[in-house]
Structure 1
Amino acid sequence: MARDRLYPDGASTGQVRMSLSLRFAAGSHKGMIREGNEDSGYAGPRLLAIADGMGGQAAGEVASSEVISTLVQLDDDVPGSDILTS
């Protein structure tokens, strides 16, 4: 990720490059009360996301699925793009 960083006096540090390597695992459990699991998750090349389905609320599984579906669109692997400004 590269972006200009500005200081209060308006000076810029120029571009900063950062590298981050992650190892991850995921798991989810419906618990002892609910009949189903309403949570959703996504792991892609540049984005990890978890959406809590709010068990017990109407259509929690739909809401969490919609959030993940929307976020997945941000994970297009375009070299040099900044996911935060997409």
Structure 2
Amino acid sequence: MGSVARHDRLYPEPTGEVRMSLSLRFAAGSHKGMIREGNEDSGYAGPRLLAIADGMGGAAAGEVASSEAISTIVALDDDVPGSDLLTSSAPPSSAPTTSCA
């Protein structure tokens, strides 16, 4: 007979609202590397969201895929954090497929 770990005992249900403020300082840089001719990476830094998309150097249209990914994510950085994340239902691959077709 073994024992079963009960997760609800490890992580009790919250009893109230917790508020927290967060300040983030960041810097970013990008480099094409030693082999590739261009850099296919994309990035975004907004008031509430940071995002990096790796362009998959050497793959066809890697720069298009990373740019489309960032363009989609930028729309989520609005005045009501999380609202678009909850209502978005588009599959992750729909934008790059549409753009490359």
TM-score by length of 1: 0.77
Query: Which structure's residues are more often helix, by fraction?
Result: 2
SS at structure 1 position matched to 2:76? helix
Which aligned segments of 4 or more residues in structure 1 are displaced greater than 3 angstroms? 7-12, 81-86
Unaligned runs of 5+ in 2: 1-6, 88-101
| Structure of greater relative contact order (alpha carbons < 8 Å, 6+ residues apart) | 1
Unaligned runs of 5+ in 1: 1-6
TM-score by length of 2: 0.67
| Aligned equivalent of 1:33, options 23, 26, 35 | 35
Structural RMSD (CA): 2.2
Instruction: Provide the C-alpha distance between the structure 1 equivalents of 2:68 and 2:52, rounded to a whole number of angstroms.
Output: 12
Number of aligned residues: 78
Identity within the alignment, %: 79
